[in-house]
Structure 1
Amino acid sequence: MQTIHIHDKFKAIEAQLLACISNFETQGEYVTKGERNVIKSFEIGAETITIKSFKTPKVINSFVYKHLRKSKAKRSFEYAVKLLDCNILTPFPIGYVEESSATGLKHSFYICRHLDYDFDFRVLIHNPELDHRDEILKQFTHFTYQLHENNINFLDHSPGNTLIVENGPKYDFYLIDLNRMQFEVMDLPKRMENLKRLWLSKKMIRIIATEYALISNEPFENVYNLLLESSQAFKRRINRKKYLKRKYLNNKK
């Protein structure tokens, strides 16, 4: 059983889109080949599209995604539409396809326009000497503030999920990997908590906190301390997990 939802603007190529889904295993160019999800690009006439194939869920999740909760593909599509309605950039959502049996969801695919981007947020972390880095961080802060003002809590606000396009002196930021969001009023602690996954250096934290305080009319000390605390707590937790994992693996040898 298939559930197919294609944006009205792309109905004319629906058959070609479904052919890409049918031949996903053997055709297309890999964008990402992860343990959980696979992303490929396809050419349809003059259009380049990206398709994300989500990992087949286990039995319980398979039932949940069919009967109790929207699939990751459907959420990705709906959240992309909501972002664009709020003037927040993301690769244009084309549609989603779900394949299921009577017992549950088997496969799901999210389809969007392919985006040619210049770099992602990780470059700002790993290349402190990047030209205009401070300016990019300031503009990124405005972008994130817009998210928060629209009551969007992007739970996967991590370095690989913001793609950056250079547009003269302006930088455009596009969100990807959209299936985990909450829509809620966000106070300042929750806003700073939302930035914890970005793996920010102290210098980056100071730049972002300074700009966020300026935009929001919040005291700089409040913004800076909350962001520093949430960022460092997240790093400690991740580093501890890595340490315990290494210790476990070494003990097994």
Structure 2
Amino acid sequence: MRENFVIHPNYTHLAAKLGDVLHNFSKKGEYVTKGDRNVIKMVQLEGISFNIKKFKTPNVFQALVYEFIRKSKAKRSFEYASKLIELDIKTPFPVAYLEMFSGGLRESFYVSEHINYDFDFRELIHNPEFKKRNEVLRQFTRFTFKLHENGVNFLDHSPGNTLIMDHGNDNYEFYLIDLNRMRFEPMDFNARMHNFRRLWLSKTMMKVMAEEYAKLYKKPIDGTYELMLHYSRIFQKKINSKKLRRRK
């Protein structure tokens, strides 16, 4: 079996220990999430906590695509995280990735530093009474504007993919996770509003965020809100229709 193991220069001293963990993934670490598609575990090495994401084993066709045509999700996650950090956009620090090939990609892992966050964006959706909710929404909007200004089109800009740290005194930090679907490209106003669609925003949330984005982009608030609402409703209708079809 051929392997491709890439580790950040900051962590080369842990290469052997990290490699051992990856090759014995089923026996090492503690589960963070255990899904049908991907598994995430946390391990500690020399007092540092790391998250390891094991991606779902691809089917035969996908395995060949990932070996010869397209970068694996693990490799993309590592490279995109590195690019975000270059742009001063926060994401858990990229540590390493491992690809195992045998007649195509068999297994792949992405390793990042573990961060102790306070909440994720989902909590703002599920709890309308969330403390200082509007302030967090305004700062999250500025964070998203920074992504767009830097040409970062985060295709999975959804509620569970932004972790938030509360440092007190209305100081919040936002970290992107689940990075393997991303494009780096100029974004016009329509593309920017389209990028909000997966966040499942209520109209109340949308009004706060549209007002903030309009100020930053120097666009009319009403037009910003209407376009954000337009794309969000199309997306929500599409997802709800799929759910109804599954129930039949």
CA distance in 1, matches of 2:28, 2:12: 22
What are the Cα deviations for residues 8-60 of structure 1, in whole angstroms up to 9, with x where unaligned? Answer: 00000111111110111112111111110000000101100000000010111
CA distance in 2, matches of 1:51, 1:37: 10
1:162 and 2:162 matched: yes
Task: After TM superposition, list the pairs within 5 Å mapping 1:233-244 onto structure 2.
Answer: 233-244=234-245
Percent of paired sites with the same residue? 54
1:124 and 2:127 matched: no
What are the Cα deviations for residues 79-104 of structure 1, in whole angstroms up to 9, with x where unaligned? Answer: 00000111100000001000001x21
Task: After TM superposition, list the pairs within 5 Å mapping 1:80-159 onto structure 2.
Answer: 80-101=81-102, 103-159=103-159
Note the residue ranges of structure 1 that are not aligned, 5 or more in a row.
248-253
Give 2:29's aligned residue: 28
CA distance in 1, matches of 2:127, 2:20: 41
Give 1:177's aligned residue: 178
User: Could you state the TM-score of these two structures normalised by the residue count of structure 1?
Assistant: 0.96
Give 1:250's aligned residue: none
TM-superposed CA distance for 1:72, in Å, is 0.3
CA distance in 2, matches of 1:19, 1:116: 25
Moved over 4 A (4+): none
**RMSD of aligned alpha carbons:** 0.6
Give the 3-state SS of the residue equivalent to 1:97 in structure 2: strand
Stretch moving more, 141-150 or 221-230: 221-230
TM-superposed CA distance for 1:220, in Å, is 1.1
User: Could you state the TM-score of these two structures normalised by the residue count of structure 2?
Assistant: 0.98
TM-superposed CA distance for 1:216, in Å, is 0.9
Give 2:39's aligned residue: 38
Note the residue ranges of structure 2 that are not aligned, 5 or more in a row.
none
Give the 3-state SS of the residue equivalent to 1:192 in structure 2: helix
What are the Cα deviations for residues 166-192 of structure 1, in whole angstroms up to 9, with x where unaligned? Answer: 012210000000000011111111101
Give the 3-state SS of the residue equivalent to 2:208 in structure 1: helix
Counterpart amino acid of 1:163? L
CA distance in 1, matches of 2:142, 2:208: 12
CA distance in 2, matches of 1:134, 1:219: 20
TM-superposed CA distance for 1:213, in Å, is 0.2
